[in-house]
Amino acid sequence: MAKNINVKVAKQGLKVTQASDIAQDKLHLKADAVIVGSGAGGAIAAFELARAGKKVIVLEAGPYIPSEKFSEMLAVAMGTLYQDHGGQSNMNGDIAILQGACVGGSTVVNAALCFRTPDYYLKLWGKQFGLTNLNMAAMTPYFEKVERNLNIKTVGSSETSPGALLIGPGMKKLGFPEGRARRNIKDCALTGSCFSGCASDRKQSMLVTYLPWAVAHGAIIYADTRVTQVLAEGNKASGVLAEVIDPATGKKKADVRIDAPIVVLAAGPIQTPLLLQKSKLANSSGQVGKNFACHPTLSVTAEFPFEVNDFHGATHSLYMDKHTLPEKGGYLLLNAIQEPVEASFQAEPGTGKPYVAYMSGYKNTIRLISLIHDKNVGEVRWENGQKQIHYTVDNDDFEAMKKGLITTARILFAAGARKLYLPSSNKAEIESAAQVESVIGALKNEPARYKYTSFHPQGTCRMGRDAKTTVVNPYGETHDVKNLYVADASLLPTSIGYNPSETVYALASYISDRIVKAHA
């Protein structure tokens, strides 16, 4: 436990009220603050406000799955820990947009990779959106704080995965810098199962850090509880309405009303704008749900003439960010362990014998991811009673992806690969380094052709000083409704080109301090 967290927590498990614990069909509760969502932003806000002496209630739409029930099998985790059972996607269906839907949110199922927000973006936000308060001098104490609390440290040599040990020399051979990943992990068990939940509690997710600390300070957590409306009186937030849903039947078990003078939305960059749209609040700018970005990624799978067995070690061990800034290329490369279920759909080897042969050679493969800094061209809407994510990779961003794929392919061949599989719905292989430029250069930006994955939705409740063009002010409060705050990746004014988890941790800490000071 971090040195500055002076609380006692249970050795195992977390005190959570679940649907199975509720007998009555109506609940009317009162609190000083109600927080919607229990992930990166919500958990930190819950702890900071509870530590300040406020009565805090946290509402999580997903279930509470204790770590001892994690199977560390992705196929199982998708059905129990992910939004829409892992099926959430854009309207075209070609980008899997993965989010956690459980107590602890996406921090339970992410790869634990952490980057401080580059000064480039803080300066950009100051210039374009008036966020001069979020300069590096002001934010550094918050980065340092969450790094202490979450044990964010550089991957050690003993944690480096077998695939990374091949990719590193490939990068060096071509003159690319090898970045060592930083993760919120304590004494990693090296199982390579980050995306399925960490059964050993080594990953310092909200499930084993800020949420237990918040509960130790009196916060109350309700799982299986879906918020349906934010309440406001005049121009001030006054609470929320919610429904307790029995996860076994999918049926409503109870109606919930919580009266609270402070409401913090931290349900994520898709659910937070949808909730504001349903509530018809905080949208005088017309920007709620707009400016969606998601860092689309494509994984190139490399086959080697020997067994690599790249299924243990740090999920991410290294990265290459020489070309990450938009004017330098706009892509980030990350190595990643590939679990068998992921391997089975990342490439298109065919069916029958070709597919069996491909999966039989899985132990000989590794992957390298190209993640792009995309423009905020998407929109999240609540239409016809359903969620809609309108987003396609635009042509300029696809050119950035092609540059990333070319670099990826060159590195993998330099590392000793004998064949590459591109993540296309049509079979696409590269047999030699000489083919890289021609094969990837010929790729066209065609909807539904490529197997994109996104772990980083962001930007749908843009933060800024101008109430006409943004949703949330520089201190996390919505322009239109007082005491209604947002503390998740919805805030990000632009895509940041790096995994946004530490950015959210720091912003949530910053905003929580502002809330405490404003409501002392």
Q: What is the pLDDT of residues 406-421, one digit of tens each?
A: 999 999 999 999 999 9
Work out the average pLDDT over 52-74.
Answer: 95
Q: Check residue 23 and report its DSSP letter.
A: -
Angle between helix 501-518 and helix 136-149 axes, rounded to 10 deg: 100
- pLDDT for residue 343: 82
Helix, strand counts (H, E) of the chain? 12, 23
Q: What is the pLDDT of residues 342-386, one digit of tens each?
A: 788 778 788 899 889 889 999 999 999 999 999 999 999 999 899
Work out the average pLDDT over 318-341.
Answer: 93
Contact 171, 411 (CB under 8 A): yes
- pLDDT for residue 4: 54
At residue 263, does pLDDT exceed 60? yes
Question: What domains are there in the chain, each with its CATH number?
Answer: 20-87+101-151+195-287+461-518 (3.50.50.60), 154-185+297-373+393-446 (3.30.410)
Q: How far apart are CA 392 and CA 448, in angstroms?
A: 9
Average model confidence (pLDDT) across the chain = 95
Tell me the DSSP string of 421-438.
Answer: E--BSS--EE-SGGGHHH
229: Cα within 13 Å, side-chain hemisphere: 11
Least confident range from 210-219, 425-434, 468-477: namely: 425-434
Q: What is the pLDDT of residues 110-166, one digit of tens each?
A: 999 999 999 999 999 999 999 999 999 999 999 999 999 999 999 999 999 999 999
At residue 493, does pLDDT exceed 60? yes
- pLDDT for residue 344: 82
At residue 277, does pLDDT exceed 90? yes
Q: Reduced to 3 states, what is the DSSP secondary structure of residue 116?
A: coil
Q: Cα angle vertex 189, ends 107, 489, to 5°?
A: 15
- Band the pLDDT of 439: cuts 50, 70, 90: very high
Q: Check residue 351 and report its DSSP letter.
A: S
The whole-model pTM stands at 0.96
- Band the pLDDT of 1: cuts 50, 70, 90: very low
* Interacting residues of 303 by C-beta distance below 8 A, sequence separation 6+: 361, 364, 365, 417, 418, 419, 420, 421
Q: What is the pLDDT of residues 11-48, one digit of tens each?
A: 677 999 999 999 999 999 999 999 999 999 999 999 99
At residue 5, does pLDDT exceed 70? no
At residue 203, does pLDDT exceed 60? yes
- pLDDT for residue 11: 67
Q: How far apart are CA 114 and CA 242, in angstroms?
A: 33
Work out the average pLDDT over 101-106.
Answer: 98
Q: How far apart are CA 354 and CA 2, in angstroms?
A: 50
